[in-house]
Chain A
């Protein structure tokens, strides 16, 4: 089930693109006059479609018949250069999202099934040695050979070993699951199978050789149970090594790049499967990457739209409608055109920086001034003037108006106003006042965009992730693997590189060997 889901999520990207562009074409081919409006329509869906008008031969009369032919094939042969079509939501997307929601319910069942299987197996395993010891006592107590201190010693050792096993298993396995992975964790499943086979073979042996034949050597039976517990402890050791220790040593360096703005980070990972590596990357994403802000991307999109907007293609040589040739011609013309958009970009950015700096200076001054109005009352002073005392929330509300305007202007200039509501600012202010923070500490949250965890869950834009990978997600990391973590608005491209094999050699320097000479270059006149 998950396999189809994985392939579907990669595949639908392409089918979505072609479906969308075909729809846009059909709209254009109906009526040439409507093409500006169809552009508007696609703009409302947040994508930019540039349609080349059908080629108009300059010598109109001869080619009128050919023109009709062109109109018929226009939908299929014209190339359209689509902008960021990932943002538009077509009908296919909605269907896909609803299907994803349905499937996630199935995944939850799978997770609970896995948990119950493991719990049942664990209980069985834990009770087995006790059963081995107790069953002969219950079933054929009278036939058993008396077994004195040796057995009692063995009972004590079994009890303590079981206790250690219990504590170890609780420490290792009983953890809140922090993630929902697409596939089963291979090592964990292998260990469960191993334990099951092991215990099963012990029960088999016990059932055939001891229960059936009603063995009277009780000491042997107790020792058999002790050997089982010892083996279980060793399996527990194996579990620690496989599940915890093996991935601690860093073997790979992983580069994570966000697709929308190119922000990148490097992480060190050990031997992990791809899905667990993706989990580590995502856990670090929420605390390392600055929050995704769609308002910051509009500038580059409008620039991209302006680049190709001014060109039209006329086919002078006749009715041969060469679509790829037309687009190549457009690209070449755009490259040769002496446009001054780089100038615009430079001055715009310089201007924006100046504005931000000015607003920031005003903000810092306003906040510093506001903070001087508040003074913390010591314990003795608190009894003296009970009337004027305020708790942190009231104090925050009292000084907030003097800095509100400057703060709001600054947030607007840096396009962060969506991320901070007035309530959150007041809360933060009272928090800072309570903890004796300086104005600069209060402003730290607003002056620089912080990691995603800092903000309200609604503004995260990234809660449901899909792992897109060419290799199976349970296979281990290798050098050169690339996988993509997609969420609805952007994706993280992860590139795996092996840490190089380091050849380290030594060189011994005798401390007495540091000697120097003067290098002279005299010139004497004679």
Chain B
């Protein structure tokens, strides 16, 4: 199996007006098309992936990187959820801190993948 690190990342949400934002975008889900995911190694993987990280946002500060696969959010499993369920679990209004368990391919591979896509 290729080396995949599991990391725990703690993001403190930032308040912007009435919303709490995390500063990244997600893609994927069991109701989505996994073949169009540029970050996954296995094109049948329907997990939730980080597709964009806003500069200077809370996610970048916490160390989240583009291409990471989110396995758990605050203990909730994210490998078998729909896109909307994932969004809901990340944007709960009463939570100010989210603890993510992410998997990342080794750095070289991640760079290659993002360059090729």
- A positions within 8 Å CB-CB of B: 519-526
Contact = CB atoms under 8 A, between A and B. Distances in A.
Contact of A526 (B21, B31, B32): B21
Contact of B25 (A519, A520, A526): A526
Contacts, number: 39
A525 B83 CA distance: 11
A521 B21 contact: no
B52 interface: yes
B36 interface: yes
B66 to A, nearest CB: 12
B26 interface: yes
Contacts of A525: 21, 24-26, 52, 54
A521 B29 CA distance: 9
B114 to A, nearest CB: 15
Contact of A524 (B31, B33, B36, B83): B83
A522 B83 contact: yes
Contact of B22 (A521, A522, A526): A526
Contact of A523 (B25, B31, B91): B25
Contacts of B25: 523-526
Query: What is the predominant secondary structure among interface residues of chain A facing chain B?
Result: loop
Contacts of A520: 31-33, 83
Size class of the contact patch on chain B: 10 to 19
A521 B33 contact: yes
Contacts of B37: 521
Contacts of A522: 27, 29, 32, 83
Contacts of B90: 526
B93 interface: no
B98 to A, nearest CB: 9
A521 B26 contact: no
List 5 A-B pairs, minimum CB-CB distance, nearest first: A519-B33, A525-B25, A521-B36, A526-B90, A523-B27
A300 to B, nearest CB: 53
Nearest to B36: A521
Nearest to A522: B83
Contacts of B27: 521-524
B87 A524 contact: yes
Interface in B33-47: 33, 36-37
B52 A523 contact: yes
B51 interface: yes
Contacts of B87: 524, 526
Contacts of B32: 520-522
B30 to A, nearest CB: 11
A523 B54 CA distance: 14
21 contacts: A519-B33, A520-B31, A520-B33, A521-B32, A521-B33, A521-B36, A522-B29, A522-B32, A522-B83, A523-B25, A523-B52, A524-B25, A524-B27, A524-B83, A524-B87, A525-B25, A525-B26, A526-B24, A526-B25, A526-B26, A526-B91
Nearest to B51: A523
Contacts of A524: 25-27, 83, 87
B99 to A, nearest CB: 15
Contacts of A523: 25-27, 51-52
Interface in B58-72: none
A525 to B, nearest CB: 4
Contacts of B24: 525-526
A526 B83 CA distance: 12
Q: By CB atoms of chain A within 10 A, which of B24, B54, B83, B90 has the most?
A: B83
Contacts of B51: 523
Given A519-B36, A520-B31, 9 more contacts: A520-B32, A522-B27, A522-B29, A524-B26, A524-B83, A525-B21, A525-B54, A526-B26, A526-B90
B69 to A, nearest CB: 15
A522 B83 CA distance: 8
Contacts of A519: 33, 36
Q: By CB atoms of chain B within 10 A, which of A519, A523, A525 has the most?
A: A525
Contacts of B52: 523, 525
